[in-house]
Amino acid sequence: MTPERIDDPRDQAAQPSAAANPAGASRLQSKHPVRRVAEPGSLDGFPMTELAPEEVDLRGDWLLQKDRSVVGDATEQRIEWLTTEKLERVANDCSGWEILYRDLRDGRFWELTYPQGEMHGGGPRRLHVLSHDEAAAKYSYAAI
3-class secondary structure, 40: coil
Three-state SS for 4?
A: strand
Residues 122, 126, 127, 128, CA torsion sign: negative
User: Looking at residue 23, what DSSP letter applies?
Assistant: T
User: pLDDT digits over 39-85, tens only?
Assistant: 545 555 557 999 999 999 999 999 999 999 989 999 999 999 999 99
Contact 61, 5 (CB under 8 A): yes
pLDDT digits (tens, 9 = 90+) for 80-131: 999 999 999 999 998 889 999 999 999 999 999 999 878 877 889 999 999 9
End-to-end Cα separation, the chain, in angstroms: 46
